[in-house]
Amino acid sequence: MAVSAHNVPLRERRIERIGFRTTEQEGALIRRAADLRGLTITQYVLCAVLDRAERDLYEHAARTQQAPMPEGAAEPLHALANLFSA
């Protein structure tokens, strides 16, 4: 089940704390977006970060479960760099 700031069961109390600093403009942008969605800043940031974390983990898992590359095949970025260096 996906985790979101809205569906954490009461038995799972939040005890971890993560803090970060923002510029005045970044803070204002986040506040405006949270207000637009009707969320607190904490809810808004937590939803955004959890969404991104799930996506990153899913994409990483998908990449690492691919079939192995054929022997001698260049990595995509290396292949592009080799194209221009030849």
The three-state secondary structure class of 12 is: coil
Distance (Å, whole) CA 33 – CA 13:
26
DSSP string spanning 41-55? HHHHHHHHHHHHHHH
In the DSSP assignment, the letter for residue 60 is H
Sign of the dihedral defined by the CA atoms of residues 23, 18, 34, 4, in that order:
positive
For 22-81, the pLDDT digits (tens) are 999 999 999 999 999 999 999 999 999 999 999 999 999 888 886 565 666 555 555 545
| pTM, rounded to two decimals | 0.60
